Amino acid sequence: MRINEITEGPHDPYRNKAIFLAGSPGAGKTFIARKLAGTFQGLKQVNMDTVFKFLLKQKNLSLKMPAGEKPEREIERQKSKEIVAKQQQTYAEGGLGMLIDSTGRIYDTVARIKQELEDIGYETTMVFVNADLDTAIRRNRNRPRSLPNELIHKNYAIIQQNLGKFQRLFDDVLVINNADDDQEQLPDEIEKLDKDIRKFLQ
């Protein structure tokens, strides 16, 4: 997988802005990220899961994450981390606006990347995509790359606990509710999120 060429100039929109996304697997972060990327074209998406799936397919490894393939899978996971780290570094060196999509499971990693970006002049914010556990489990089951239910339970608890930490780490965390029961109100929530993001990017 090639890192996208940087063709933007010094006057392009969203320079030195980084938006972190967090939320449990199955919460719908990718859906929200695509909405934001479509609205605010020019933001560079940083998503390890996309790279990881690409590498798994290249090696003909299952996206259902069977235990028997764990050694080979972990090699590809490490490769994906290295690719995404290089991609993010390249974008940051160009001062490009970024949409950094992760679960937010490891608080220290988010805090470290946030500080590194702010040290070179970036402004940062976070969008936390919220959904109940039942929704996360149901959606995970239908995803191309799914995780075992017990891992969803474990990650969900950790990520929800991290929300309070993120609210203290960032000046403002924009929470959007994307559970199955919230779909009727979702267009209004997305419209409000767009306004908040537009304000942040100005």
Is residue 5 domain-resident? no
In this prediction, residue 5 carries a pLDDT of 43
Residue at 84 is within a domain: no
User: Residue 162: CB partners within 8 Å, gap ≥ 6?
Assistant: 22, 104, 105, 107
Give pLDDT tens digits along the chain (202 positions): 444 444 444 456 799 999 999 999 999 998 999 999 999 998 999 999 999 999 999 999 999 889 899 999 999 999 999 999 999 999 999 999 999 998 899 999 999 999 999 999 999 999 999 999 999 999 998 888 888 889 899 999 999 999 999 999 998 899 999 999 999 999 999 999 999 999 999 8
Specify if 121 maps to a domain. Answer: yes
- Does residue 89 lie within any of the structural domains? no
Q: State residue 147's pLDDT score.
A: 85
158 is in which domain, residue-wise?
17-47+96-201
Q: Sheet containing 173-177: give its strands across.
A: 44-47, 98-101, 17-22, 123-130, 173-177
168: buried, middle or exposed (CB in 10 Å: 19+, 13-18, 0-12)?
Answer: exposed
Within-domain flag for 57: no
Give the chain's domain count: 1
Q: Does any domain span residue 181?
A: yes
Task: Examine residue 11 and state whether it is found in any structural domain, yes or no.
Answer: no
Element (H, E) at 48: helix 48-58
Structural domain includes residue 169 = yes
Specify the CATH number for the domain of residue 174.
3.40.50.300
